[in-house]
Amino acid sequence: MSDAAELDMTQYPQMLEIHGHQIAVRSGGEGPVLVFIHGMAGSSATWNAVLPSLAKQFTVVAPDLLGHGDSANPPLADYSLGAFASTVRDVLDALGHQRATVLGQSLGGGVAMQFAYQFPDRCERLVLLDSGGLGRDVAPLLRGLAFPGVEYLFPLVFTSAACQAGNTIAALLGKVGLRKTPQAEEMWRSYESLVDPARRAAFVRTLRSVISLGGQQVSAHDRLHTGEHIPTLIVWGGRDSIIPIEHGHAAHRALPHSRFEVFEDAGHYPHCEDPERFVHVVTEFVRSTPPAGVHDERHQPGQAAGSA
């Protein structure tokens, strides 16, 4: 792959029109298809450290979910896991890909599991990275953001002035050799995205579809057994303070044929904190496992339950 192709894939997403809405997608490479699904308040840019390397061996597809990144922020859209999974299906259709290995981080892990449930004939493998939807516990900050009415404080918290000040301080620290960690970079990128009112509104609706004051309110455990035939890799950061690693252990026990990789020194974003290892682990997993061969007439493309 040329340097220009890498730049286009990681920095300049193409725009697809899906059901009248613009969906931004980073894609490139050749070979088996890998589709990457980012987390809440994130974007496909979270995969920039790994996409170019993986695109040398695979076809990579990384969309911005509706209400995230460069995709549209429609006020009346469905921001549920099922709707996101259907959008991923529609993106694959638009790009001419029938089946894929589906990788999801945080919220994206929940979307990936929902995709495998809704469209089992489209999912060859699953990679769940510090995934949501596997237990009740979640960081107190996210539970607090789900509090009714808290969104009215967001314009005071997420401001352009604060972003400018933060970027100025980061630039000054960079001049003396002090740089944000990859995890801090991702969290700051999420903060910046919420300065936009339309994205904040989409964030609130997405958050409340999966998290309440009591924690995560969507669990895949009652349906994990339906995916026993799908090769599954579970990856977790040993220092994840947002979703505890115990959720990964529990999912691994529920899927005895799954693989479990712990990035001991990483937090919630192992793909950013140790991209070389992530590329190696994913490549080895895909190369060493046969794709699931499910065909279910109830889940034909375009006819799946919950499709949007």
Query: pLDDT-based confidence at 10, cuts 50/70/90?
Result: low
In percent, how much of the chain has pLDDT > 70? 91
State the amino acid at position 58 in one-letter form.
F
Tell me which of 240, 247, 252, 258 is the catalytic residue.
240
| pLDDT beyond 70 at 4 | no
Residue 84 lies in a domain: yes
Residue 240 annotated in active site: yes
| pLDDT, tens only, 107-165 | 999 999 999 999 999 999 999 999 999 999 999 999 999 999 999 999 998 888 888 88
Tokens 């998290």 — which residue? Answer: 211
Tell me which of 38, 268, 271, 299 is the catalytic residue.
268
Residue 185 lies in a domain: no
- What does the alpha-carbon distance between residue 234 and residue 61 come to, in Å, rounded to a whole number? 20
Residue 165 pLDDT: 83
More confident residue, 51 or 173: 51
Residue 164 lies in a domain: no
| pLDDT, tens only, 236-246 | 999 999 999 99
Stretch 217-222: mean pLDDT, rounded?
90
Residue 226 lies in a domain: yes
Neighbours of 123 (CB within 10 A): 27
More confident residue, 303 or 184: 184
Q: What is the DSSP letter of 241?
A: S
Query: pLDDT-based confidence at 294, cuts 50/70/90?
Result: low
Residue 106 annotated in active site: yes
Residue 297 pLDDT: 44
Residue 142 lies in a domain: no
More confident residue, 189 or 278: 278
Residue 135 pLDDT: 96
What mean pLDDT is reported for the chain?
A: 89
Residue 172 pLDDT: 74
- What does the alpha-carbon distance between residue 53 and residue 57 come to, in Å, rounded to a whole number? 8
Residue 224 pLDDT: 85
Tell me which of 27, 106, 209, 258 is the catalytic residue.
106
Residue 27 lies in a domain: yes
Residue 248 lies in a domain: yes
Residue 42 lies in a domain: yes
Residue 268 annotated in active site: yes
pTM of the model: 0.90
Residue 179 pLDDT: 73
Stretch 189-202: mean pLDDT, rounded?
93
Number of domains in the chain: 1
**CATH number of the domain encompassing residue 225:** 3.40.50.1820
Tally helices (H) and strands (E) across the chain: 12, 10
More confident residue, 205 or 222: 205
Long-range pairs, 139-144, Cβ under 8 A, ≥24: 139/241, 139/242, 139/243, 142/207, 142/211, 142/242, 143/211, 143/212, 143/213, 143/214, 143/215, 144/213
Neighbours of 20 (CB within 10 A): 7
Domain that holds residue 69: 3-137+215-297
- What does the alpha-carbon distance between residue 5 and residue 79 come to, in Å, rounded to a whole number? 31
Residue 54 pLDDT: 97
In percent, how much of the chain has pLDDT > 90? 76
Residue 167 pLDDT: 76
Stretch 176-201: mean pLDDT, rounded?
88
